[in-house]
A = this chain, B = another copy of it.
């Protein structure tokens, strides 16, 4: 036993980490935040932000803390995704990872400058680099969960500022679903659900008619609808 190995148990214990798949829309592309690893294993490869659970720390708090430490991002919507635990998924030791997925609007992205040889960057989901560990699997699951939740929850609003136009909202749906939607039907459908309301203010954005802005009626939480 190494002298530093000071935490001992009568049975072997796995390590526990959290990893976060943070989505946003940049330009016209759904994108994910990745970290370039500064240490082995997979040194120099890209990976999801995440890291080891502190022993007295709640799981979600760990995910938030790691995200903050590695990228400076705070206050995003976070939801548990799935727990990955294949025995060989980490070459160092047995590691169980509780994966979270998160959404944020792109203008809240103040990436921390590179520190201790790690570096964060956004990648469009269709142009991901090779990924460390089983992080490609995690991202794939996060994408399908995000898609599924689009149609029965208010999750899409997490990707927009608190006031937005219907065109912006439609654009979010179109990018996530990767399909064009009919403008009149989209507006009718969204408004009929009663989950957003007019703010009374307008967005003046260029040489065209100003757009009404809307806000979520209950902005505090992602809800299951319909």
Q: Known interface pairs A58-B87, A86-B58, A94-B55. Does A13 touch B10 (Cβ–Cβ under 8 Å)? A: no
Q: Do B83 and A12 touch across chains, with their CB atoms under 8 A apart?
A: no
Contact of A87 among B57, B83, B96 (CB under 8 A): B57
The answer to whether A53 and B14 have CB atoms under 8 Å apart is: yes
Stretch at the interface among A1-9, A165-173, A184-192: A1-9
What are 29 of the A-B contact pairs (CB < 8 Å)?
Answer: A2-B10, A5-B8, A5-B9, A5-B10, A6-B8, A6-B10, A7-B8, A7-B10, A7-B11, A8-B9, A9-B13, A11-B15, A11-B52, A12-B55, A13-B14, A13-B15, A13-B55, A14-B53, A14-B55, A16-B16, A16-B96, A56-B94, A57-B87, A58-B85, A58-B86, A80-B83, A83-B83, A83-B98, A85-B98
Nearest CB of chain B from residue A134's CB, rounded to whole Å: 13
A5 to B11, CA, bound (A): 7
Docked-complex contact B11 and A8, CB < 8 angstroms = no
**In the assembled complex, which residues on chain B have CB atoms less than 8 Å from the CB atom of A12?**
7, 55
Report which residue of A6, A8, A52, A59 has the largest number of chain B beta carbons within 10 angstroms of its beta carbon: A8
What's the tally of chain A residues with a CB closer than 8 Å to chain B? 31
Interface string of A12-34 (1 = CB under 8 A from B): 11111000000000000000000
Q: Which of A70-113 contact B (CB under 8 A)?
A: 80, 82-83, 85-87, 94, 96, 98
Instruction: Give CA–CA (A219, B13) in the complex, Å.
Output: 37
Q: Which residues on the B side are within 8 Å of A13 (C-beta)?
A: 7, 9, 13-16, 55
